[in-house]
A and B are shown apart, each in its own frame.
Chain A
């Protein structure tokens, strides 16, 4: 039992962890299909109904698919960040994966970092597929403010990931984590307009979309350019979402138990 003595850096451990976690994600067929492809599937499914491809005065002259595209995006971000991430982390704790790592020279925090890199990358992939296929097949214009959209997406994903880690931090077991994340997911989707398009939502819920992760209102504005009757300026919304991400992440870091 010898050979192989070159020095290894923490970066190489993180790279290897990230590659391994990415491979593990691709081996979970449900996670891949649900998290990465559902938004596109739902979008194309709805778009196949001619009625939803007609300009509609109710949507300010836009088509349903135009106003609903950001909601499809949120659907996928939520599955990955609020459902998949906490369930994986809680299972890792329950199975003792984190505990085992804590006996090695590499802190289990590295595994958590690798996991959130993978989840973020999957969310980006999901978004790219959605934007491109909506554009190609449904003529939904790509985001009208690409820079703002990208920043809103990154900050929004960060706030969801922070929430996902917070769930993993406070849930006493993997099944408790699943229950909590499902409840939170439903709430986020309601505000995000999955159940009812945002233009039909009561004013209160629409306003909530400016405050609750991942920032449905800002994603809508920066994608379709339809500002609707937004109350807050875009920078303020961005600031709020970044604030939520930082506060929740700090809370999660404080509460996280490794075993």
Chain B
């Protein structure tokens, strides 16, 4: 049984359709990414999963239950970290955690949770005195305090500095390793590529693609490129003879080879055979950014 199952989900606000025929399912232990530009319908999708909004069409189950009709059962097993949900300014971190723990029939040890999230020393600090990264950690802690089976984390790293983002990523991996299934909503390609096992790419309320990050990249841009610097006497057309190679070009000392799977091996074996010392050899794959542009026809940050 999938942890989350979404079938043909439709949602509109007045006349505007914001989620249109979205279907996906999330398996146990996965980090499942919902990726798309701002306003694509990501948050609305997860709000429907969390039972916060009525559906206009389709069906959603969480652990086999309807999140609206069986909201209590679902809420006890689903932890949600919402985008831009703050806490009262003067509440202390420990108080907030103890308070939210009291909302759940079974709760995590809050001291241990703060320890895990690296904010144990902030237990007596008021919320307003925390940094952006610390606030996000508190938010994650609140999503986990009810010991959920699955948790939704919406735009977790927006507004964080690069170091805090990296720390947060490690944290998410730790959470997954502790056995919690994660739905990660993000508009950052690097974040999705680094963390997610599978991704649903959402654009204008529809799923544009659903695959592993590598699968999405390959699908959008199946070719790889290898570049290196070689002595002028090396004839790059020796490479073009190999079946893995589609084309080889030279500009000055820099050689650029385009090809399919096994390209790197083909290039290095030719270089070894010719006794050529290649300098600055690089494999260039297209990124999820490129894949996004290829699959939706626009830039992800727009």
Docked CA distance A4–B88 (Å): 26
**By the criterion CB–CB under 8 Å, are B113 and A105 in contact?**
no
Q: How far is the CB of B174 from chain A (nearest CB, A)?
A: 10
Stretch at the interface among A22-30, A53-61, A224-232: A22-30
CB-CB under 8 A for A99 and B85, given A1-B109, A1-B116, A20-B99: yes
Chain A, interface size category, equals: 20 to 34
**By the criterion CB–CB under 8 Å, are B109 and A2 in contact?**
yes
**By the criterion CB–CB under 8 Å, are A4 and B108 in contact?**
yes
Residue of A nearest to B108 (CB): A1
User: Contact partner of A8 among B88, B90, B104, B144, CB < 8 A?
Assistant: B104
**By the criterion CB–CB under 8 Å, are B146 and A96 in contact?**
no
Docked CA distance A27–B127 (Å): 13
* Binary contact readout B77-106 vs A (1 if CB under 8 angstroms, 0 otherwise): 011101011111011000100111111111
B14 interface contact, C-beta 8 A: no
**By the criterion CB–CB under 8 Å, are A20 and B95 in contact?**
yes
Give the chain A neighbours of B84 by CB distance below 8 A. Answer: 96
CB-CB under 8 A for A103 and B109, given A1-B144, A28-B90, A92-B88: no
A186 interface contact, C-beta 8 A: no
CB-CB under 8 A for A96 and B109, given A16-B99, A103-B52, A105-B76: no
B302 interface contact, C-beta 8 A: no
**By the criterion CB–CB under 8 Å, are B107 and A99 in contact?**
no
CB-CB under 8 A for A96 and B105, given A2-B147, A24-B91: no
Chain B, interface size category, equals: 35 or more
A44 interface contact, C-beta 8 A: no
Docked CA distance A215–B94 (Å): 42
Consensus secondary structure, chain B interface = loop
Docked CA distance A17–B95 (Å): 10
**By the criterion CB–CB under 8 Å, are A13 and B105 in contact?**
no
B176 interface contact, C-beta 8 A: no
* Binary contact readout A83-113 vs B (1 if CB under 8 angstroms, 0 otherwise): 0000000001001110111111110000000
Residue of A nearest to B77 (CB): A105
Give the chain B neighbours of A27 by CB distance below 8 A. Answer: 90, 126
**By the criterion CB–CB under 8 Å, are B91 and A104 in contact?**
no
Residue of B nearest to A7 (CB): B105
**By the criterion CB–CB under 8 Å, are A97 and B86 in contact?**
yes
Q: How far is the CB of A90 from chain B (nearest CB, A)?
A: 13
Docked CA distance A140–B183 (Å): 65
B163 interface contact, C-beta 8 A: no
Give the chain A neighbours of B99 by CB distance below 8 A. Answer: 16-17, 20
Give the chain B neighbours of A12 by CB distance below 8 A. Answer: 102
**By the criterion CB–CB under 8 Å, are B102 and A8 in contact?**
yes
CB-CB under 8 A for A95 and B85, given A1-B144, A2-B108, A20-B99: yes
**By the criterion CB–CB under 8 Å, are B87 and A97 in contact?**
yes
**By the criterion CB–CB under 8 Å, are A103 and B91 in contact?**
no
* Residues of B39-95 contacting chain A, CB below 8 A: 50, 52, 72, 75-76, 78-80, 82, 84-88, 90-91, 95
User: Contact partner of B87 among A28, A95, A102, CB < 8 A?
Assistant: A95
* Residues of A1-21 contacting chain B, CB below 8 A: 1-5, 7-8, 12-13, 16-17, 20
Q: How far is the CB of A78 from chain B (nearest CB, A)?
A: 23
Docked CA distance A99–B178 (Å): 27
Docked CA distance A95–B52 (Å): 17
Give the chain B neighbours of A106 by CB distance below 8 A. Answer: 103
Q: How far is the CB of B4 from chain A (nearest CB, A)?
A: 15
Docked CA distance A28–B126 (Å): 12
Give the chain B neighbours of A97 by CB distance below 8 A. Answer: 85-88
User: Contact partner of A23 among B50, B87, B95, B113, CB < 8 A?
Assistant: B95
Sample 17 A-B pairs with CB under 8 A, ordered by A number: A1-B108, A1-B116, A1-B147, A3-B112, A4-B101, A5-B106, A13-B102, A13-B103, A20-B91, A20-B99, A92-B88, A95-B86, A95-B87, A100-B82, A103-B78, A104-B100, A105-B75
Nearest 10 pairs between A and B by C-beta? A96-B85, A103-B80, A100-B85, A95-B86, A106-B103, A27-B90, A1-B108, A104-B103, A16-B102, A5-B106
